[in-house]
């Protein structure tokens, strides 16, 4: 199999499809990142919550705190955190492709959620695009929530103690002290996740989203060239992910001001 | 409230772990008066830090009461002057208790000036100009005015601790709590921090100091508490504690550290 100039010229016949495919991939990633991050924040807050409806069981009849036993175990149950934990573990332990098919073929089955066959943002088919975004976001949210949780817990306890001892409320402590430091700590991991989403969005091609991969398929079928469309799409994905990671690295450096001597 | 000089009245304070198997604080009762420089000494694991951290509820005590400025801050609800029962706002009381930590706990993402103005602006609603002016005055006092724009990592340990002290002072607290403020410092930096603390004591600031600096306790302390195994075993003037110790544990402790 050889690469030829004529081959690339044949691919350029399909440049319009590649352009739309690229835009579609950008839209997919953009909406996934936003939806996924919101979901991740909710999951992280749920996991770190301290809601124990059976807490009263921890007190014995003399009003003292139990420290062991069945009732003590019951008193520690936090259903909100439990649900979030189960969600995260399931979504991290099953393939994205399976999740995508379940979302598309089950959740967005015409008997469950029937999306109209309309075109949005110029050329994007909503009934393919939206299930793709939802599946990617559900998956990404599970990963990002763990990143956020680890980031918040990575901030030293002494920071919170100092803030609270100055009279700052729990909310002010989060906003001014913990979160700025947590975000700095998790920025590299979040950046990685954004880049991963751009690349993983390629799987939505399997449910008929007209992204970059769909353009490859069309170009291959129309031009009878196999390699050139793939090289073009690889280059285009690189053009998306490389600047993204550079931009994030820039913000990372800006936030590291306090670490430099 | 001003009837007695008592600023903080601690009664029967207990802090248990593992169902009472570990007694970090075992029935500690003490009065801290306005203007006191109360130095808490004792072997490590004796409950000194737990005691100090209980005073502003960084540790929640298992039992006992802490009456600060006439309000029992261990209760979740308090009665107001009009006799209404309202939820106790611990943040209000913490504002009045400055705290200095062994490991400084400056905010690394903020400059020295921002470290000092954050709480005055956000909690006491000072204007930024007002807060900065106050911060600079305090920094000048500890000789660090020229470092106002620096980040904590650019400072030495001694400088960080001096900043931590004036950061707490910027809230104009009624009492300052020091949790082993010189234990994490290189030996040559201990003096500069102790000097700032001595200055504060001379000005009449009420202070509770957990420390291993026996020289400081003897020179500056108005009262010395000796704790071991979570119990307050002996208290008295520095002369009594150091020259005429009664409890065998104290005699043993002093023979090792002096």
Write out pLDDT tens, residues A10-58. Answer: 888 888 889 999 999 999 999 999 999 999 999 998 998 888 888 777 7
Q: Is A201 exposed, middle or buried (0-12, 13-18, 19+ CB in 10 A)?
A: buried
**pLDDT at site B80:** 75
Q: Is A196 exposed, middle or buried (0-12, 13-18, 19+ CB in 10 A)?
A: middle
Residues B140 and B134: their CA atoms lie apart, in Å, by 10
State the count of interchain CB pairs (< 8 A) between A and B: 82
State the pLDDT confidence band at B147, using cuts at 50, 70 and 90.
Answer: very high
Phi, then psi, of A118 in degrees rounded to 5:
-115, 165
- How far from chain centre, in Å, is Cα B104? 13
Residues B137 and B144: their CA atoms lie apart, in Å, by 10
State the pLDDT confidence band at A62, using cuts at 50, 70 and 90.
Answer: low
**pLDDT at site B1:** 39
Max alpha carbon distance in chain B (Å)? Answer: 55
What three-state secondary structure class fits B13? Answer: strand
More confident residue, B123 or B17: B123
Residues B171 and B121: their CA atoms lie apart, in Å, by 10
The answer on pLDDT for B182 being more than 90 is yes
pLDDT digits (tens, 9 = 90+) for B63-117: 899 999 888 998 877 777 777 888 888 898 999 999 999 999 999 999 999 999 9
- How far from chain centre, in Å, is Cα B111? 24
Residues B80 and A162: their CA atoms lie apart, in Å, by 28
Q: Are A158 and A178 in contact (CB under 8 A)?
A: no
Among A162, A168, A177, select the one facing B123 at the smallest CB separation.
A168
**B64 token code pair:** 């006992």
**B8 token code pair:** 């903080």
Those residues whose C-beta lies under 8 Å from the C-beta of residue A130, and which sit 6 or more positions away, are A108, A115
**pLDDT at site B2:** 43
The answer on pLDDT for A2 being more than 80 is no
What three-state secondary structure class fits B36? Answer: coil
Residues A108 and A134: their CA atoms lie apart, in Å, by 10
Shortest distance between the Cα of A255 and any Cα of chain B, in A, equals 8
User: Cβ of A167 and B119 within 8 Å?
Assistant: yes
State the pLDDT confidence band at A144, using cuts at 50, 70 and 90.
Answer: very high
- How far from chain centre, in Å, is Cα B70? 19
| Secondary structure of chain A in HEC code, one letter for each residue | CCCCHHHHHHHHCCHHHHHHHHHHHHHHHHHHHHHHHHHHHHHHHHHHCCCCCCHHHHECCCCCECCCCHHHHHHCCCHHHHHHHHHHHHHHHCCHHHHHHHHHHHHCCCCCCCCCCCEECCCEEHHHHHHHHHHHHHHHHHHHHHHHHHHHHHCCHHHHHHHHHCCCCHHHHHHHHHHHHHHHHHHHHHHHHHHHHHHHHHHHHHHCCCCHHHHHHHHHHHHCCCHHHHHHHHHHHHHHHHHHHHHHHHHHHHHHHHHCC
The answer on pLDDT for A77 being more than 90 is no
The answer on pLDDT for B219 being more than 70 is yes
Residues A215 and A134: their CA atoms lie apart, in Å, by 22
Contacts of A172 in chain B (CB under 8 A): 122-123
Nearest CA in chain B to A66: B19
**pLDDT at site A63:** 62
**A159 token code pair:** 């920071």
State the pLDDT confidence band at A183, using cuts at 50, 70 and 90.
Answer: confident
Residues B171 and B123: their CA atoms lie apart, in Å, by 9
Contacts of A156 in chain B (CB under 8 A): 105
Residues recorded for chain B: 258
Nearest to B171 by CA among B134, B208, B202, B218: B134
Nearest CA in chain B to A254: B109
State the pLDDT confidence band at A74, using cuts at 50, 70 and 90.
Answer: confident
Contacts of B119 in chain A (CB under 8 A): 163, 166-168
**pLDDT at site A58:** 74
Among A68, A161, A167, select the one facing B91 at the smallest CB separation.
A167
Contacts of B19 in chain A (CB under 8 A): 65, 67-68
Q: What is the pLDDT of chain B when averaged over all its residues?
A: 92
Among A158, A168, A169, select the one facing B101 at the smallest CB separation.
A158
**A15 token code pair:** 């440049």
- Lowest mean per-residue pLDDT among A104-108, A118-122, B10-14, B211-215: A118-122
Nearest CA in chain A to B176: A165
Residue B87: beta bridge partners?
B77
Q: Is the dihedral of CA B125, B127, B131, B132 positive or negative?
A: positive
**pLDDT at site A208:** 87
**pLDDT at site A190:** 87
**pLDDT at site B162:** 97
User: Cβ of A168 and B154 within 8 Å?
Assistant: no
pLDDT digits (tens, 9 = 90+) for A201-229: 999 999 988 889 988 998 999 888 889 99
User: What is the rounded radius of gyration, in angstroms, for the C-alpha atoms of chain A?
Assistant: 24
């Amino acid at each position: 199999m050889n690469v030829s100039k004529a081959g690339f010229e044949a691919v350029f016949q399909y440049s319009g499809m590649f352009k739309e495919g690229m835009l579609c991939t950008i839209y997919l990633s953009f909406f996934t990142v936003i939806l996924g991050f919101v979901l991740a924040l909710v999951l992280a807050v749920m996991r770190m919550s301290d809601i124990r409806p059976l807490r009263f069981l921890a007190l014995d009849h003399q009003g003292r705190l139990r420290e062991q036993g069945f009732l003590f175990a019951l008193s520690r149950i936090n259903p909100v955190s439990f649900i979030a934990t189960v969600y995260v573990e399931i979504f991290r332990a099953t393939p994205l492709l399976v999740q995508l098919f379940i979302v598309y073929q089950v959740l967005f089955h015409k008997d469950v959620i029937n999306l109209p066959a309309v075109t949005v943002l110029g050329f994007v088919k909503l009934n393919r695009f939206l299930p793709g975004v939802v599946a990617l976001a559900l998956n990404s949210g599970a990963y990002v929530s763990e990143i956020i949780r680890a980031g918040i817990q990575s901030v030293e306890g002494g920071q919170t103690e100092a803030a609270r001892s100055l009279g700052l409320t729990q909310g002010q402590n989060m906003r001014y002290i913990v979160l700025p430091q947590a975000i700095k700590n998790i920025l590299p991991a979040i950046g990685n996740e954004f880049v991963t989403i751009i690349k993983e969005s390629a799987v939505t091609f399997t449910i008929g989203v007209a992204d970059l991969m769909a353009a490859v398929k069309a170009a291959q079928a129309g031009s009878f060239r196999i390699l050139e469309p793939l090289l073009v799409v690889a280059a285009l994905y690189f053009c998306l992910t490389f600047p993204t990671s550079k931009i994030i690295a820039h913000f990372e450096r800006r936030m590291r001001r306090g670490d430099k001597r | 409230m001003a009837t007695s000089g008592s600023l903080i009245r601690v009664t029967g304070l207990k802090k248990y772990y593992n169902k009472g198997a570990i007694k970090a604080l075992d029935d500690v009762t003490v009065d801290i008066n306005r203007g006191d420089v109360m130095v808490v000494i004792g072997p490590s694991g004796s409950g000194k830090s737990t005691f100090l951290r209980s005073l502003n509820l960084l540790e929640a005590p298992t039992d006992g009461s802490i009456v600060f400025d006439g309000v029992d801050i261990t209760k979740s609800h308090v009665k107001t002057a009009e006799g209404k029962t309202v939820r106790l706002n611990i943040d209000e009381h913490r504002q009045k208790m400055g705290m200095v930590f062994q490991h400084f706990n400056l905010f690394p993402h903020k400059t020295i000036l921002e470290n000092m103005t954050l709480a005055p602006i956000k909690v006491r609603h000072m204007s930024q100009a007002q807060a900065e002016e106050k911060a600079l005055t305090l920094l000048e006092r500890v000789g660090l005015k020229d470092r106002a724009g620096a980040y904590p990592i650019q400072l030495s340990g001694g400088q960080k601790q001096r900043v931590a002290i004036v950061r707490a002072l910027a809230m104009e607290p009624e009492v300052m709590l020091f949790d082993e403020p010189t234990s994490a410092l290189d030996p040559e930096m201990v003096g500069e921090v102790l000097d700032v603390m001595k200055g504060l004591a001379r000005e009449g600031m009420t202070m509770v100091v957990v420390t291993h600096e026996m020289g400081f306790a003897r020179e500056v302390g108005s009262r010395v508490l000796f704790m071991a195994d979570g119990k307050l075993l002996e208290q008295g003037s520095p002369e009594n504690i150091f020259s005429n110790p009664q409890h065998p544990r104290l005699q043993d402790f002093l023979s090792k550290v002096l």
